[in-house]
Amino acid sequence: MTSHVPNEARVIPLRPQATRPGTRPAAAPVPPERRPPTVREPLWRDLVGDVLRGERLAQERTLKDVSDAARISMPYLSEVERGRKEASSEVLAAAAGALGLSLGDLLARAHGELVRLTSRHTGAGPGRSTPGARFDGMCLAA
């Protein structure tokens, strides 16, 4: 007597189909060319890195010079400038100090860049808000 179990997998749908009375079938997916363009929100680490790199280049200083002055490894400072690393406040303060900035100066410049970038996408100018703007009234403090 052999008990033969069929070699079939049972499929459990992740999204059950709308078969209940009173429900609508799922809408057809919208093709990519008909979707509204999505705007990627800027990341804080990208903004801070851009400010650090911009200030360093404006001072015509090398990455090695600033990393030595800040006592941060050159590869790590490079990754912070490129927005690849989320630096601690101590690292940001050291990098800013090596460039002659305070941590508050660095964060204020990054905040200004955030406002500039987000107002361009929402259509609001500085000091103006649009209904439903995602960053309306946002304040970042050190």
CA 39, 28, 37: angle at the middle one, nearest 5?
A: 15
**Predicted pLDDT of residue 43:** 93
**Predicted pLDDT of residue 34:** 74
pLDDT digits over 12-55, tens only? 767 666 556 666 666 677 777 777 666 678 899 999 999 999 99
**Can you give the pTM of this predicted structure?**
0.61
- How many Cβ atoms are within 10 Å of 77's Cβ, its own excluded? 26
Q: What is the mean pLDDT of residues 88-96?
A: 97
